[in-house]
Amino acid sequence: MNKEEGIYIELEVEFSSAHSLPYNYSKKCSNTHGHNYTARVRFRYTIPDRVKYIDKHILEDIIKKVLDSKYDHKDINRTVFGNNKLPSTAENIATQLYEDINTELQNTEYKNYIELIQIELNEVKDFTVIYKIK
Ligand SMILES: [Zn+2]
């Protein structure tokens, strides 16, 4: 079996956040504004020969817990990026979303056979950022 062969699961979620970018990144985006983000969260079974089923609601709950606490209907410059320590670009949001969901996953028994491998984030419909670990 090659490294990419196996069973993958992908969940799509939406969340709405306010943010702004530093003036030197974008004059227009330096004003606080909002986006309806779409994230596709991809997991991979690490032992697909033994695990044949996973309750999708458990993965949904992990993602929802993260989104509800820091992202959805929040000013992410503050709640995710600690008062602008990092700019809230789509690239940084995808990376941080990976870190946050993975941390939550590591608190469950699923960590033993499910791996978070990719976050695909749309800030607007025609602009996709992908954070991928393999
Ligand atoms: Zn924006």
* R_g of the chain, CA atoms, integer Å: 16
Across the range 93-106, mean pLDDT stands at 97
The pLDDT tens digits for 39-89 are 999 999 887 677 667 888 999 999 999 999 999 999 999 999 998 789 999
In the reported structure, the alpha carbon of residue 87 is separated from the centroid of ligand 1 by a whole-number distance in angstroms of 11
Domains by residue range for the chain, with CATH: 8-132 (3.30.479.10)
User: How far is ligand 1, taken at its centre, from the CA of residue 107, in Å?
Assistant: 31
Q: Order of strands across the sheet with 74-75?
A: 74-75, 8-19, 33-45, 114-124, 127-132
pTM for the model stands at 0.92
The protein residues having their C-beta less than 5 angstroms from ligand 1 (an ion) are 29
